[in-house]
Every structure is written in C-alpha cells, then in structure tokens.
Amino acid sequence: MDKVLTQTKFDVLRTKLSPTIFPISDNSISKAEALLEHTDFPTRKIEAWKYTNVNGLNKLLLDGKSSALTKPNSISKETSKKVHIINGKISKEHSDLAGIKTSWNELPSICEEDSFDALNLLYCTAAIELTFKDGENKTIELIFENTRDTAIFPRIFISCKESAKGTVILNFQGAEKNASFINVSTFVDVEENAHLSIHKIQKNGSETFDLQREYVNQAANSVFAINTFPLSGRMTRNDLRINVNGSNCETFMNGAYTLKGKSHCDNHTTVDHKVAHCYSKELYKGVIDDRATNVFNGKVFVRKDAQKINAFQSNANILLSETGSVNSKPELEIYADDVKCSHGSTTGQLDDEAIFYLRSRGLSEKSAKELLVKAFLGEVLEEVDNEDVRSYVEEEIEKHFST
C-alpha cells in the first residue's frame, strides 16, 4: 500500500475532534494543515521528545463521559477577575468578562512550526485575550474545569502594555479520573517597563494528557515571571519559550512538581537572550514517586553581542521509588564572552541523617519525610509572590502526601 495513504497518528486523533467555530483565514488554515499533513506524533528520535511519548493520546476515547469535580476551586481569594472555562468553553454566566476579548473576527495565525499548535488553532474551543494597562495592577484568574472526557483547545493571548503590571493565574482543575486531552497555546507580550507574572497550576485528572506551549516576548526593561506547578495528570508537557528582545530585562522561571502513579511530566524551557544586560533565573524542583517519570530540559541561549548577561539555571530532583525515573538536561548555548552563566542539576534522595534527626525528636518516618520534601520544594514556593497561589500549592503538596 502506498505509504502516503495510510492514516497518520494525527489523522486518527482528528477523527475524534470537531473543528473550531472561530473564524480562521484560509492562509492560516493551509499553514496549519501543512504541519499536520502526513505527520505522526513526535517520536523519541526527535530531540525535544526524546523522553516523552505521546502515543497514549490516541487511546483516549474523548467520548464526553462525565465525572463530577469535587470542588471547582478558584485560587485567588482577593478581588480579581475570574473567568470559568468549563470543558473547554467559556461559561459566560460564571465569568466576569468585562474588558476581556472573547469574540474574534479572525484568529491570529500560528507563530511557530509546531504540530500541536496547529492542532490548537484548527480545533480552538476558546480564544481569550487579556490586556493589562498602565495603572491597573489587576489579577485575572482563568479557571479551567474539566468534568468530561473531552478535548479542549484554549488559545490565550496575554498583553501587558507599557508600564503595566499584571498577574494571571491559569488554574487547570480536572475531575479525579478525568481522561481529557488539554492542548493550550499561550502567547504573551510584555511591553517596555511592564511587569507580568503568570502562575500556572495543572491539577488534572489522572488520565489527562496536557500539552501546553507558551510563547513569550519581552521588550526592554520588563520583568516576566512564570511559576509552573504540574501537580497531577497522566502526562503534562510544558514548552516555555521566552524571547528576551530588549535590554535590562529580568526573567524568572520557577517550577515545582510532585509526581506519583504513572504520571509523566516534561518541562521544556528556552530563554533566548538576544540583547545585552539581562538577567534570567530558573529553578525547577520536584519529587518523583511510584512509576512516575520526570523530564527537564532547560535551554539558555546567549546570542552574539548579548554581553553582560547573567543567566542561572537549576534543576533538583528527589527520586523516592525504585520504579521512577528522572531525566534532566540543562543546556547552555553561549555566543558572547562577557557573560556569567551557570547551571546545575542534582538528583538524589532524602538525607538519611536528616530523617534520623527528625525521628529522634519524635516525628514519624512519614511526617519526617513530608517535612523534608516540603522544605525542599519550599525554595521554589518562596519565589512565588502571590500569597494565594503559594498557600494553595502548599496545601496541595500536603494533600499529595496524605493520600
């Protein structure tokens, strides 16, 4: 049989999806289709997917079976805008949509050659634009509640205007046994002198596949921070690409993950320092238990002439079980000489002596371990400036060990 005629893995997946209701230009459609045509899912032979196998995606039935979400909790307690996206679609009755763009004459086209982004465009279920203007300093929380086994394709545009300050909470909550396919593309624009923080919580159902991409552009004198917390889910993959286009920028990337069961978590981050005088700091820490797998790939690019860059990158893992595995790949690619760049990666276990110390003071082995893990992840949580997010994640970590 002619090989071209066989169904590719993307073709199989697409038979279960219904096309977007949002208008897309013919040009964008053909661009996206070209990326999906005759294409299979990325295999281990592709460097960026060396440790992550997404073939299980096609085992998802996506039949709409529902299971109740115990507590569709919003994280931010303070007065903030909240938008509820229930099973991929914006719930207008539960959301405060003033000043948030949700209807489109035409969806912007894909910006990078990525098959999953092309899929996101063609099957987009919700397109949301958040804009932060100077003097507002507001917090917007997007709450994604997944109660049905379905595929959701949110496309999020975040624009932080000149000198504005803003906080976005992306809160993904899935029912316990939920088996959805979440595919999110987020486009972030941080203008001059702006300050934007994004907090992302991924508390998905145990069978959910969550593939997300963030494309960030930073202009001069801006600050951008992103905190990622993959807490549960069958598979979580985050591709974070930050272009630092202006000088005097600061970029912070933090992540904490607690994995157990069969979950697989993959964080890919890229910071591209294109101009001089910038600072970036990355810290990802996590604990891996049961048969879970963690992948970390951090890339720091320092382009030619981007002098006086200080870039730090760190990844630390604690492996708690015989069956778990950790893959870490911190990379530096540097083309300028007057820079200070460093990275570190460690993998190990809890310190026996520390456990002994705590036990000798009357703590049970379990609580001693819990305390040490909390302290270990605490370093990441200290970097989180939003009180609500921090206490929520702390609570979740506690719950993680009590169940």
Partner 1 sequence: MGQYTENELAKDLENQDYKFGFVTDVETETIPVGLNEDIIRLISTKKEEPSWLLDYRLNAYRAWLKMTEPEWAHIKYEKPDFDKITYYAAPKQAKKYESWDDVDPEMKETMAKLGISLEEQKRLTGVAVDFVMDSVSVATSFKSKLKELGIIFCSFSEAVQEHPELVRAHMGTIIPHTDNFYAALNAAVFTDGSFCYIPKGVRCPMELSTYFRINAGGTGQFERTLVIADEGSYVSYLEGCTAPQRDENQLHAAVVELKALKDAEIKYSTVQNWYPGDKNGVGGVFNFVTKRGLCETNAKISWTQVETGSAVTWKYPSCVLKGDHSVGEFYSVAVTNNFQQADTGTKMIHLGKNTKSTIISKGISAGDSHNSYRGLVQIHKNAKNSRNFSQCDSLLMTDHCGAHTFPYIECKNPSAQIEHEATTSKIGEDQLFYCKQRGISEEKAISLIVNGYCKEVLNQLPMEFAVEAQKLLAISLEGSVG
CA 88 – CA 51 distance, rounded (Å): 28
Does residue number 338 form part of the binding site for partner 1 (CB under 8 A)? yes
Residue 307 interacting with partner 1 (CB under 8 A):
yes
Alpha-carbon dihedral sign for residues 165, 271, 259, 373? negative
Mapped onto helix, strand or coil, the DSSP state of residue 100 is coil
Q: Which two tokens stand for residue 144?
A: 């994604």
Tokens of 365: 């082995």
CB closer to partner 1 out of 113 and 305: 305
Kindly state the tokens that stand for 93: 């009755």
Nearer to partner 1, 93 or 337 (CB): 337
Q: Which is nearer to partner 1, 220 or 320 (CB)?
A: 320
The residue within the footprint of partner 1, chosen from 86, 168, 339, 393 (CB under 8 A), is 339
The footprint of partner 1 on this chain (CB under 8 A) covers a number of residues equal to 36
Structure tokens at 126: 């919700």
Compute the least distance from the CB of residue 263 to partner 1, in Å.
16
- Residue closer to partner 1 (CB basis): 26 or 47: 47
Report the half-sphere exposure of 129 (CA within 13 A, side-chain side): 13
- Name residues contacting partner 1, limited to 138-177 (CB under 8 A): none
Interface residue with partner 1 among 33, 333, 385, 398 (CB under 8 A) is 333
Per CB under 8 A, 365 contacts partner 1: no
Nearer of residues 104 and 312 to partner 1, judged by Cβ:
312
CB of residue 332 to partner 1, shortest distance in Å: 4
Instruction: Please report whether residue 298 would count as binding partner 1 according to CB under 8 A.
Output: no
Dist CA 380 CA 396 (whole Å):
14
Q: Which of 342, 357, 387, 398 binds partner 1 (CB under 8 A)?
A: 342
Per CB under 8 A, the list member of 304, 308, 366, 399 interacting with partner 1 is 304
Segment contacting partner 1 by CB under 8 A, of 78-86, 193-201, 220-228, 313-321: 313-321
Q: How far is the CB of 259 from partner 1 (least distance, A)?
A: 13
Rounded to whole angstroms, the Cα distance separating 175 from 173 reads: 7
Nearer to partner 1, 26 or 353 (CB): 353
Site string for partner 1, 7-46 (x = CB under 8 A): ----------------------------------------
Task: Check residue 2 for interaction with partner 1 (CB under 8 A).
Answer: no
DSSP 263-325: -EEEEEEEEEE-SSS-EEEEEEEEEE-TT-EEEEEEEEEE-TT--S-EEEEEEEEEE-SSS-E
Of these, 43, 348, 366, 375, which contacts partner 1 (CB under 8 A)? 348
53 is a site residue for partner 1 (CB under 8 A):
no
Query: Smallest distance from the beta carbon of 211 to partner 1, in angstroms?
Result: 22
Amino acid code (one letter) for 180: S
Asked whether position 247 contacts partner 1 by CB under 8 A, the answer is no
Is residue 355 involved in binding partner 1 (CB under 8 A)? Answer: no
89-90/81-86 β-pairing: antiparallel
Tell me how far, at minimum, the Cβ of 400 lies from partner 1, in Å.
17
388: phi > 0 → left, psi -120 to 50 → alpha, else beta; which?
Answer: alpha
Q: Which residue's CB is nearer to partner 1, number 113 or number 338?
A: 338
> Could you tell me which residues are beta bridge partners of residue 172?
144, 202
- Closest Cα partner for 56 from 329, 264, 254? 264
φ/ψ of residue 61, rounded to 5: -80, -35
Assign residue 359 a region (left: φ > 0; alpha: ψ between -120 and 50; beta: otherwise).
Answer: alpha
d(CA 218, CA 240): 13
Closest approach, Cβ 43 to partner 1, in A, equals 15
Which residues contact partner 1 (rule: CB under 8 A)?
Answer: 47, 51, 304-305, 307, 317, 319-322, 324-349
